[in-house]
C-alpha cells in the first residue's frame, strides 16, 4: 500500500492525557483517536493489527475445535435477571443500560455468559451434542470506573470470549486444558512475554480454577507474586504465602488499658511501645459489606505488619463488595474516633473475623474501642473467644513461597487473557440442561475464556518500543515492512521501490510503501514512530542495484542487492506462519 493513500497521519505531539507509552505512541502515530473517555476510533493501520491478532486467535481456537459465532451486543434484562447478575452489575456501575421505545430494559454486553447459555439451552438437548466450545470476537462495553491507558482499559473494547459446554467436570477439565494450550500459542505468536498466574474468579464467578495470562510490564495494573524456585505465580488478589514469624511475647500477662491519645497507627504505637513489634500488634480493620439484600458491618483482625486482601475478604463473606468503613461507620461500630478499633467491645451486629496471621499471638496490643485508648497484653481465648478464622492476608514480596522454601518476589503485569472453570453456576441459575446418558436432566458444565484483543495490541507496544517509537512484533504488525523511497523526484528510485513493493506484496509480504513527497528525515522519523519491524530504503545506491535493509528493533543496517532484500523479507514473513 502507498503511504500517500493510506489513512495514516502522524502527530507532532503526544496527547496530554497519555500516561503510558503504548497510549502515547499509538495516538501519536495516528493509529487511535479518542472519541470520549475509554472510547477510541481505530484508524486503518490499527484495524489491520487488530485483524491480525484476531486471525491468530481464530486459528488457534479453531485448532482446538472451538467454533466461531457472533452474539448480540444488545441484550435483554430478562436473561441477566435469570442469571442473577443484573442487580450486581447495575450496582457496580459497570453495565451500560438503556430502554427501548416500549420501556423494556436492555444492556450493552460487558460479557456474554447469559446470551450464550440461552443460545445453547434452546438448541442442545442431548449429551450426544456435547462437548461444545463457542466463541466470538466482539465489541464489549463496560462503564469502567477509571478508563485509562488508551486501549488498555477502554469502556468499549474488543474481546474474544469463548464458552465451553460439557457433560461433567472431567469434560470441563479437557476443555480448559485445550484453551490453555490455545492461549499459550496465541500470546507466543503475538510476540508477547507473558506469565500464567493463578487468579481470583472475580465477579464472573464459578467454582473451579482460574488462571490469567499476564504480559510482563512495569506499567501493568496487576501485581503478581512469583517464586523463582518453584515457578509459583499468582495474582496478588489470590496469592498465599508463608509469613515471616514474629517472636512470642511469652506467658500471658494481665490485660491492661493504656492511654494513647492521638496514637492511631501501628507505626505510632511502635514508637510509643518500642518493645512491641508491629507484628505483635493486631489492627482491626473495619468494612461495610454489600449483599443483594443488606449491608453488613465487618471487622477483620489482622497482624499489625500485614494488610487485608479485600478480594479474599469479599469471597469469604460471599458479599457483592466490601468497602473500607468511613468515619461514621467507624463510630457506629466502635463508638470511638477512627484509629482505636479493637476486637473487644464492638457494637453487637458487627461480624468479627480474624486473619490466620493473628492466630496464636500472645500478649498482643490492639485498639480499645474508646477514643485515645489501646489494650495491651490481650490473649485469646482468655479475653475474647476465638473469632472466625480465615485467610484475609495480602501476600507480599519477601514472604515465603507457599509451595517451596523459596521467597516470593513481586512483578507487574497486564492481564490479556483469563480462563475460568465456571462449573454449573450459570446453567443452574438459567435452567440450562441436557439429557444425559442416564436419561435424566443435567446442567451444562461450563467454562469461559476471555482475551483482550485490543488490549493485546496496546500490550505489545508497552513491551516493544524505544524513544523513537513503536516496534511491532512481526506477526501483528500492520505491515511487515516499509519501503522508503528516499528522494521523491528520483525516477529510478521510484521505479525500483514500486517494483519491489509489488513483488513483495505478490509474495505475501504486507508492504507500506512511503511514496510521499517529504524529506527523507520526516519519512525516517515516521518509519521509526510507526515501527514496522523492517525497513528497506531505496536511496542513493539504487542505481547500483543496492538497497538498505534495516531492522527496526536493533537499528542494524545492511547494504544488499534488491533481490537479497526481497528474499530476506519473504523468508522472515514465512517463518511466522
Ligand atoms: P480487569 O481485571 O483488567 O478489569 P477483567 O478481569 O474484568 O479485567 P475479564 O472479564 O476477565 O476482564 O475479560 C477478559 C479479558 O478482556 C481480560 O483478560 C482483558 O484482557 C480484557 N479486558 C477486560 N476489561 C477490559 C477493558 N476495560 N479494556 C480492554 N480490555 C479489557
Ligand atoms: Mg479477568
Ligand 1 atom having least distance to the Cα of 456: 20
- Whether ligand 1 lies within 6 angstroms of the CB of 416 is answered as yes
Rounded Cα–Cα distance for residues 189 and 183 (Å): 10
Provide the whole-model pTM: 0.93
**Extended beta strands in 3-81, E state:** 32-36, 39-42, 67-68, 74-76
What pLDDT, on the 0 to 100 scale, is given for residue 204? 53
Instruction: Evaluate if residue 207 carries a pLDDT over 70.
Output: no
Structure confidence by residue, pLDDT tens digits, 388-443? 999 999 999 999 999 999 999 999 999 999 999 999 999 999 999 999 999 999 99
Say which ligand is closest to the CA of 112. 1
DSSP reduced 3-state for 334: helix
What pLDDT, on the 0 to 100 scale, is given for residue 102? 97
- Whether ligand 1 lies within 6 angstroms of the CB of 153 is answered as yes
Read off φ and ψ for residue 387, nearest 5 degrees.
-70, 165
Structure confidence by residue, pLDDT tens digits, 512-558? 999 999 999 999 999 999 999 999 999 999 999 999 999 999 999 99
Pocket test for ligand 1, best of 155, 415, 421 (most atoms within 8 A of CB): 415
- Whether ligand 1 lies within 6 angstroms of the CB of 92 is answered as no
What pLDDT, on the 0 to 100 scale, is given for residue 292? 80
Q: Which band of pLDDT confidence, cut at 50, 70 and 90, is reported for residue 205? A: low
Q: Which band of pLDDT confidence, cut at 50, 70 and 90, is reported for residue 275? A: very high
What pLDDT, on the 0 to 100 scale, is given for residue 202? 65
From ligand 2's centre to the CA of 149, what distance in Å? 17
The set of cell numbers assigned to 424 is: 454449573
Pocket test for ligand 1, best of 224, 413, 452 (most atoms within 8 A of CB): 452
Question: How does the average pLDDT of the chain come out, rounded?
Answer: 96
* DSSP-assigned letters across all residues of 219-285: T-SEEEEEETTT--EEETTT---BPPP-----S----EEEE-TT--SHHHHHHHSTTS-GGGBEEEE
Ligand 1 atom having least distance to the Cα of 111: 10
CA-proximal residue: ligand 1, atom 24 (nearest): 153
Structure confidence by residue, pLDDT tens digits, 432-490? 999 999 999 999 999 999 999 999 999 999 999 999 999 999 999 999 999 999 999 99
Instruction: Evaluate if residue 158 carries a pLDDT over 70.
Output: yes
Ligand 1 atom having least distance to the Cα of 417: 18
- Whether ligand 1 lies within 6 angstroms of the CB of 417 is answered as yes
- Whether ligand 1 lies within 6 angstroms of the CB of 338 is answered as no
Q: Which band of pLDDT confidence, cut at 50, 70 and 90, is reported for residue 201? A: confident
Q: Cell 453487637 sits at which residue?
A: 348
What pLDDT, on the 0 to 100 scale, is given for residue 31? 98
Say which ligand is closest to the CA of 311. 1
For residue 106, give the nearest of 96, 92, 116 by alpha carbon: 96
Structure confidence by residue, pLDDT tens digits, 348-397? 999 999 999 999 999 999 999 999 999 999 999 999 999 999 999 999 99
For residue 528, give the nearest of 475, 484, 485 by alpha carbon: 484
Ligand 1 atom having least distance to the Cα of 153: 28
Say which ligand is closest to the CA of 40. 1
- Whether ligand 1 lies within 6 angstroms of the CB of 418 is answered as yes
CA-proximal residue: ligand 1, atom 3 (nearest): 415
Q: How much is the average pLDDT of 236-255? A: 95
What pLDDT, on the 0 to 100 scale, is given for residue 88? 86
Instruction: Evaluate if residue 78 carries a pLDDT over 80.
Output: yes
What pLDDT, on the 0 to 100 scale, is given for residue 398? 97
CA-proximal residue: ligand 1, atom 14 (nearest): 450
CA-proximal residue: ligand 1, atom 1 (nearest): 415
Cis amide bond preceding 381, omega within 30:
yes
For residue 509, give the nearest of 484, 477, 471, 486 by alpha carbon: 477
Amino acid at each position: 500500500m502507498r503511504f500517500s493513500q493510506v489513512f495514516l497521519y502522524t502527530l507532532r505531539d503526544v496527547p496530554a492525557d497519555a500516561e503510558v507509552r503504548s497510549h502515547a505512541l499509538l495516538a501519536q502515530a495516528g493509529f487511535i483517536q479518542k472519541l470520549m473517555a475509554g472510547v477510541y476510533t481505530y484508524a486503518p493501520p490499527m484495524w489491520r493489527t487488530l485483524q491480525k491478532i484476531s486471525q491468530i486467535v481464530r486459528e488457534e481456537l479453531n485448532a482446538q475445535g472451538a467454533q466461531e459465532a457472533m452474539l448480540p451486543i444488545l441484550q435483554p434484562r430478562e436473561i441477566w435477571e435469570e442469571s442473577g447478575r443484573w442487580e450486581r452489575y447495575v450496582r457496580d456501575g459497570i453495565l451500560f443500560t438503556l430502554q427501548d421505545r416500549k420501556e423494556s430494559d436492555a444492556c450493552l454486553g460487558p460479557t456474554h455468559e447469559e446470551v450464550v447459555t440461552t443460545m445453547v439451552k434452546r438448541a442442545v438437548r442431548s449429551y450426544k451434542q456435547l462437548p461444545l466450545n463457542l466463541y466470538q470476537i466482539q465489541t464489549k462495553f463496560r462503564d469502567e470506573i477509571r478508563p485509562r491507558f488508551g486501549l488498555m482499559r477502554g469502556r468499549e473494547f474488543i474481546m474474544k470470549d469463548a464458552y465451553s459446554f460439557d457433560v461433567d467436570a472431567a469434560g470441563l477439565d479437557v476443555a480448559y486444558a485445550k484453551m490453555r494450550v490455545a492461549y499459550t500459542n496465541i500470546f507466543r505468536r503475538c510476540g508477547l512475554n507473558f506469565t500464567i498466574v493463578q487468579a481470583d474468579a472475580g465477579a464472573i464467578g464459578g467454582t473451579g480454577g482460574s488462571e490469567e495470562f499476564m504480559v510482563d510490564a512495569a506499567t501493568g495494573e496487576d501485581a503478581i507474586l512469583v517464586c523463582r524456585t518453584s515457578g509459583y505465580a499468582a495474582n496478588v488478589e489470590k496469592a498465599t504465602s508463608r509469613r515471616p514469624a514474629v517472636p512470642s511475647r511469652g506467658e500471658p500477662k494481665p490485660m491492661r488499658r493504656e492511654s494513647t491519645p492521638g496514637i492511631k497507627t501501628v507505626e505510632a504505637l511502635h514508637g510509643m511501645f518500642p518493645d512491641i513489634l508491629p507484628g505483635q500488634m493486631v489492627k482491626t480493620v473495619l468494612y461495610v459489606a454489600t449483599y443483594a439484600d443488606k449491608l453488613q458491618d465487618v471487622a477483620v483482625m489482622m497482624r499489625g505488619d500485614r494488610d487485608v486482601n479485600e478480594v479474599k475478604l469479599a469471597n469469604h463473606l460471599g458479599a457483592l463488595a466490601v468497602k473500607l468503613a468511613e468515619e461514621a461507620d467507624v463510630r457506629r461500630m466502635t463508638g470511638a474516633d477512627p484509629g482505636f478499633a479493637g476486637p473487644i467491645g464492638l457494637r453487637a451486629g458487627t461480624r468479627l473475623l480474624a486473619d490466620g496471621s493473628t492466630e496464636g499471638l500472645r500478649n498482643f496490643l490492639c485498639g480499645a474501642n474508646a477514643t485515645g485508648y489501646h489494650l495491651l497484653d490481650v490473649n485469646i481465648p482468655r479475653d475474647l473467644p476465638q473469632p472466625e478464622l480465615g485467610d484475609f492476608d495480602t501476600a507480599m514480596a519477601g514472604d515465603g513461597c507457599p509451595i517451596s522454601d523459596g521467597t516470593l518476589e513481586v512483578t507487574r503485569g497486564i492481564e490479556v487473557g483469563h480462563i475460568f472453570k465456571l462449573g454449573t453456576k450459570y446453567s443452574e441459575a438459567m435452567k440450562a440442561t441436557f439429557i444425559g446418558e442416564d436419561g435424566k436432566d443435567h446442567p451444562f458444565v461450563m467454562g469461559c475464556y476471555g482475551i483482550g484483543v485490543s488490549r493485546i495490541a496496546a500490550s505489545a507496544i508497552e513491551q516493544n518500543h524505544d524513544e523513537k517509537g513503536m516496534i511491532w512484533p512481526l506477526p501483528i504488525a500492520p505491515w511487515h515492512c516499509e519501503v522508503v523511497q528516499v528522494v521523491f523526484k528520483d525516477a529510478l528510485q521510484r521505479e525500483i521501490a514500486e517494483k519491489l513493493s509489488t513483488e513483495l506484496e505478490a509474495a505475501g509480504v504486507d508492504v507500506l510503501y512511503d511514496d510521499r513527497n517529504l524529506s527523507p528525515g520526516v519519512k525516517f522519523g515516521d518509519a521509526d514512530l510507526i515501527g514496522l519491524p523492517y525497513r528497506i530504503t531505496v536511496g542513493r545506491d539504487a542505481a547500483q542495484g543496492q538497497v538498505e535493509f534495516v531492522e527496526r528493533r536493533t537499528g542494524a543496517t545492511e547494504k544488499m542487492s534488491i533481490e537479497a532484500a526481497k528474499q530476506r523479507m519473504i523468508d522472515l514473513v514465512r517463518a511466522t506462519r
